[in-house]
């Protein structure tokens, strides 16, 4: 357990990034077969022959690319380069797009073409292009953007899981709680994020227009203003399938949608998203935030109090967004409380580790792996990188 009081907020965030998160993920570099190792259990035992997920590799590519820029550290460029060199292993040379996963030595494993996975590939490639100016990375990002728009959507919006040849497949990967979703909030959210990142890297009118259309769909078909939440799982006609609020996604979406709107929409058009995002932030905070962490979700009125690592990080960015938009000091107090919880409970005190995956409300572990296709440096690393450049007061 971490008990020392930080000297200042921003410096403590940077120190945590550089002393805990970055070294952990640097150590997962696979020198023998390329890329980064795909699995480590909670006992910190590494499986060197586990499959390597495209989402994990793309998020690692984004993380080291962005960290090298934000921290002005050239030594991190080599780790971004390493993730970039492995990226081609996920590409399908026949049908286009990227596979869900490959074997440890880079052969196709799960050949599902999921729209969510394509989006994170675009996201990572765009960040790498911003770091390096590598036009091949930009070309790949734009090619994937075209695949997403031509093969991964229909007239109603984003599709979900597809086979290698882009014919339909059931969506187990992004469905849960007993439903099989034809469309999900999660995929749309990260398509928006990917297009905003690509547009920042390469201002292209088609990318901006499709990203703006996705923002409108989120506002008009996913946002539920009466229940003050984003609906999560939908049928093909965007009818909700479950009475559910994903607190982590809602507080993530609050700042992420506003951030994407800044990139993709003229300032004069952003007001509806500002209203939505502030209401979404307040709703998630009222329902999920405690002085000892952030709840996971609510399904049919029952609150799941698991403390997953990623909503803890997203709550930090949500609270920072609340202060930036309102200048109300209550958001700074919440930010400080949440950071103290993360430092004391979520961060694994063992040498060479970073954040626990999932904990119970009492702080005991659920035994989930430290690294797998979803457990990555994206949420907590992004939290640190965004807060470092956020303009927040250094002393809360």
From the CA atom positions of the chain, what is the Rg in Å?
A: 20
Give average pLDDT by consecutive 10-residue segment, the chain, 396 residues. 61 97 98 98 98 98 98 98 98 98 98 98 98 98 98 97 97 94 98 98 98 98 98 98 98 98 98 98 98 97 98 98 97 97 98 98 97 97 96 84
What are the boundaries of each domain within the chain? Answer: 9-388
In this predicted structure, what is the pLDDT of residue 294? 98
In this predicted structure, what is the pLDDT of residue 7? 60
**Which residue from 56, 65, 64, 213 is spatially nearest to 138, judged by alpha carbons?**
65
In this predicted structure, what is the pLDDT of residue 2? 43
> How many beta carbons lie within 10 A of that of residue 90, not counting itself?
24
Give the C-alpha distances (Å, rounded to integers) separating 163 from 49, 148, 152.
24, 14, 11
In this predicted structure, what is the pLDDT of residue 393? 84
Task: Name the token pair of 126.
Answer: 């765009």
Measure the CA–CA gap between 185 and 179, rounded to whole angstroms: 14
pTM (whole model) above 0.75: yes
Measure the CA–CA gap between 131 and 69, rounded to whole angstroms: 6
> Rounded to 5 degrees, what angle do the CA atoms 136, 138, 140 make?
70
Which positions ≥6 away from 224 have C-beta within 8 Å?
Answer: 230, 231, 240
Give the C-alpha distances (Å, rounded to integers) separating 34 from 30, 43, 181.
5, 24, 34
> Rounded to 5 degrees, what angle do the CA atoms 302, 303, 309 make?
150
87 neighbors 162 (Cβ within 8 angstroms) = no
Give the C-alpha distances (Å, rounded to integers) separating 333 from 237, 281, 283, 311, 396.
41, 15, 17, 18, 7
In degrees rounded to 5, what are phi and psi of residue 353?
-115, 180
Write down the residue that tokens 């470092």 correspond to.
388
* Fold of the 9-388 domain: Glycosyltransferase (1.50.10)
Measure the CA–CA gap between 40 and 161, rounded to whole angstroms: 26
371: which strand partners?
A: 40
53: which strand partners?
A: 101
């Amino acid at each position: 357990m971490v008990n020392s009081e930080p000297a200042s907020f921003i410096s403590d965030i940077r120190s945590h990034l550089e002393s805990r998160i970055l070294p952990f993920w640097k150590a997962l570099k696979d020198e023998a077969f390329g890329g980064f190792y795909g699995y480590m259990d909670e006992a910190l035992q590494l499986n060197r022959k586990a499959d390597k997920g495209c989402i994990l590799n793309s998020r690692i590519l984004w993380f080291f690319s962005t960290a090298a820029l934000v921290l002005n550290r050239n030594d991190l460029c080599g780790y971004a380069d390493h993730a970039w060199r492995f990226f081609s292993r996920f590409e399908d040379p026949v049908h286009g797009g990227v596979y869900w996963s490959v074997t440890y030595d880079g052969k196709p494993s799960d050949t599902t073409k999921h729209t969510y996975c394509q989006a994170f590939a675009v996201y990572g490639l765009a960040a790498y292009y911003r770091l390096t100016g590598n036009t091949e990375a930009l070309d790949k990002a734009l090619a994937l953007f075209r695949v997403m728009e031509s093969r991964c959507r229909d007239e109603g919006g984003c599709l979900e899981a597809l086979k290698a040849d882009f014919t339909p497949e059931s969506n187990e990967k992004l469905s849960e709680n007993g439903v099989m979703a034809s469309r999900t909030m999660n995929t749309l959210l990260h398509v928006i994020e990917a297009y905003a990142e690509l547009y920042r890297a390469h201002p292209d009118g088609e990318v901006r227009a499709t990203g703006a259309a996705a923002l409108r769909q989120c506002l008009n078909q996913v946002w539920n203003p009466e229940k003050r939440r984003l609906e999560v799982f939908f049928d093909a006609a965007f009818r909700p399938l479950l009475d559910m609020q994903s607190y982590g996604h809602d507080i993530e979406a609050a700042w992420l949608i506003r951030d994407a709107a800044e990139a993709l929409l003229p300032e004069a058009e952003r007001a509806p998203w500002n209203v939505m995002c502030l209401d979404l932030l307040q709703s998630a905070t009222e329902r999920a935030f405690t002085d000892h962490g952030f709840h996971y979700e609510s399904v049919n009125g029952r609150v799941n109090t698991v403390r997953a690592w990623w909503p803890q990080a997203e709550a930090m960015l949500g609270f920072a967004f609340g202060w930036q938009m309102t200048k109300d000091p209550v958001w700074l107090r919440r930010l400080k409380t949440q950071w103290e919880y993360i430092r004391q409970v979520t961060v694994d005190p063992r040498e060479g580790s970073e954040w626990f995956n999932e904990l119970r409300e009492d702080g005991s572990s659920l035994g989930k792996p430290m690294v797998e296709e979803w457990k990555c440096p994206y949420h907590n690393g992004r939290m640190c990188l965004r807060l470092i450049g956020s303009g927040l007061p250094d002393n809360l």
